[in-house]
A and B are shown apart, each in its own frame.
Chain A
């Protein structure tokens, strides 16, 4: 072996060794990445602690409680009418819908039934809350994949729905309008015509979203086949709402377990999608929003006359008993297990919020996904922080 050959070989060995060293250096241990507590994708202060192997998530754990307000404890020291003020702030984008199951649970214990007109107006406001809530999601999902325009459209058009809610209740976000036995007030004059116009606008908004995002190559690539949740896993975690229907389960509490509102008086359709991925969840919500606009119009058409309050005592005491009422809120099944002991306030209220269960699937669904997909999957599961933390 000549000296040249020897040097060459040595150089080769050195190069190999240094490459190996580099590989070992690059083979870092798992890295922990904190997403949040302050991150636009978390809609508030949710922290996701993800352990990464390179770009892939090995394990992931949501850490919450940054906004825990202890409503179950606070409800125990308040009277029934005061509780609605609290529960308005659980899912703050669809506040009116939060009040309804609690009021229904209390009414069930009191054996009071709101008059038909009140039930219809409740249903209208419920669906308006759904539109106001989900329209923001429809735009926000664009932000998660890097499209900024949709969210501005969403804010622009959602404002019209909020105006309608404000015109009736006086509050954009926290109406506090539902009462045991009926509603605080009737609809203002001319409101129904305005609402019809707004519903047409919202349908245009849905079309826009469909055009902007659905056909988009980027959107499809980021959402199709990402974050697939099979139906049995979704059920086992207690996912509800569009997250469940996006996994192909045809179940809507409005149709299947209507606790007394006017949903069974009109024709409408429950939308499902078999795929269970981020795209399916988005698609179902989009269809639901459009369906809700038609529902509001039909409800406005059939709105019966009559009083809006049943006869209830001035100071409300709810007879002892237990009842659980849940409704299909914008985010999913929201239920209140109310235990009364005949006092002015509840003895205990268990608040079953949809987002808590919806987010509990995160450790399962995030395993093995890539970091950018964490954001889209979180976005597509759609949660409101107040709804997780209560």
Chain B
């Protein structure tokens, strides 16, 4: 069933993927209905034939979009979450070990990134009470600038163009609803303007949104206007900061280096020659076996089975 490699194609706006199945009537019909109902409110969409539909709506039409979909029979609430598109100042911790894309050094050298990271420690403290307060100053515009500069060497712009439906700003809220009894699902997205991480709540539309919005508020600091009780859901109530933001350092990795980068240990020197001889002997044995009976390749698995 993985014959439709739709998601890999650059997702500008309405791309008709040549490699995907030619058409997808139910999803096209749904898209037409949504375009009809939301008009300008539906900013962008991406249709992967036979698979999935992404739409990006205007922030002010978020509730409208949810209501429209619910009335179209998409009554099943999948999830609601957010994406922080900022490149993490620390990088991915282990990327430097591999040849290309020196993410860490690139951004570490950048003044803005260091600044944004340092400055962010403070704003996130105030953040716990008012998620919006922190956004406008240091972190967000920096993230934008950083990507803009990185665009020149090509990698970041390529990455940005791969984002399905939007992702031009730092924070993006996404939600997924499904039509029960079918495989029809829609992923809705909203780009939140930089410095204003606020969006209307969906709690009146989908009851399940309550907890998911609490989680998104806690993890990303996104304010859901009209939510009945934005409280911490996983973390202790006195927790400060928003852990899933990319500029929130993962302490475990800061304290000591990640040991899982290379999991091949060096062979102790006194064993090296011995092992080499064993490996060669085994190799020669298989060569000999292969030449004597060419077709007896390992179709039959060898393990004995631990059994009951």
Instruction: Name A's B-contacting residues (CB within 8 A).
Output: 64-65, 68, 70, 72-74, 76-79, 82, 104, 107-109, 111-113, 160, 163-164, 166-167, 185-191, 194, 198, 232-233, 235-238, 240, 244, 249-251, 253, 256-260, 305, 315, 319-324, 326, 333, 335, 337, 339, 341-345, 348, 350, 352, 356-357, 360-361, 364, 389
Closest to B156 in A: A341
B77–A257 touching, CB < 8 Å: no
Closest to A389 in B: B234
Expressed in whole angstroms, the minimum distance between the Cβ of B262 and any Cβ of chain A is 11
Q: How far is the CA of A206 from the CA of B235 in the complex (A)?
A: 40
> Assuming A77-B253, A237-B208, A357-B77, is B5 touching A163 (CB within 8 A)?
no
> Assuming A77-B253, A235-B180, A238-B76, is B83 touching A342 (CB within 8 A)?
no
Closest to A85 in B: B260
> Assuming A77-B253, A188-B304, is B207 touching A257 (CB within 8 A)?
no
Q: How far is the CA of A361 from the CA of B2 in the complex (A)?
A: 35
B303–A235 touching, CB < 8 Å: no
Expressed in whole angstroms, the minimum distance between the Cβ of B170 and any Cβ of chain A is 13
Q: How far is the CA of A189 from the CA of B81 in the complex (A)?
A: 45
List, sorted by A's number, 22 A–B pairs whose CB atoms are closer than 8 Å: A64-B234, A68-B234, A77-B92, A82-B260, A107-B2, A108-B5, A109-B7, A112-B2, A167-B305, A167-B307, A187-B301, A189-B302, A190-B307, A194-B307, A235-B76, A236-B207, A238-B76, A238-B79, A321-B11, A326-B78, A344-B94, A360-B208
User: Is B68's CB within 8 Å of the partner chain A?
Assistant: no
A236–B77 touching, CB < 8 Å: yes
User: Is B88's CB within 8 Å of the partner chain A?
Assistant: yes
CB neighbours of B302 from chain A (8 A): 189
Point out the residue from B183, B248, B250 that lies within 8 Å of A257, measured CB to CB.
B183
A357–B208 touching, CB < 8 Å: yes
> Assuming A320-B158, A352-B79, is B305 touching A108 (CB within 8 A)?
no
A111–B2 touching, CB < 8 Å: yes
A77–B234 touching, CB < 8 Å: no
Q: How far is the CA of A238 from the CA of B163 in the complex (A)?
A: 26
CB neighbours of A344 from chain B (8 A): 92, 94-95, 98
CB neighbours of A68 from chain B (8 A): 234-235
Closest to B184 in A: A257
CB neighbours of B8 from chain A (8 A): 109, 111, 319-321
A163–B207 touching, CB < 8 Å: no
Closest to B88 in A: A76
Which 9 A-B pairs rank lowest in CB-CB distance, beginning with the nearest?
Answer: A257-B183, A260-B1, A188-B305, A320-B162, A65-B234, A238-B208, A238-B77, A111-B5, A186-B301
Interface size class of B (residues with CB under 8 A): 35 or more
CB neighbours of A335 from chain B (8 A): 78-79, 176
B181–A256 touching, CB < 8 Å: yes
> Assuming A188-B305, A238-B206, is B1 touching A259 (CB within 8 A)?
yes
CB neighbours of A350 from chain B (8 A): 79, 81, 174
Expressed in whole angstroms, the minimum distance between the Cβ of B100 and any Cβ of chain A is 9
Closest to B214 in A: A360
Expressed in whole angstroms, the minimum distance between the Cβ of B306 and any Cβ of chain A is 5
Q: How far is the CA of A244 from the CA of B78 in the complex (A)?
A: 13
B308–A160 touching, CB < 8 Å: yes
Which of B78, B158, B182, B235 gathers most chain A CB within 10 Å?
B78
User: Is B243's CB within 8 Å of the partner chain A?
Assistant: yes
User: Is B52's CB within 8 Å of the partner chain A?
Assistant: yes
Closest to B91 in A: A77
> Assuming A70-B243, A305-B299, A348-B83, is B305 touching A194 (CB within 8 A)?
yes
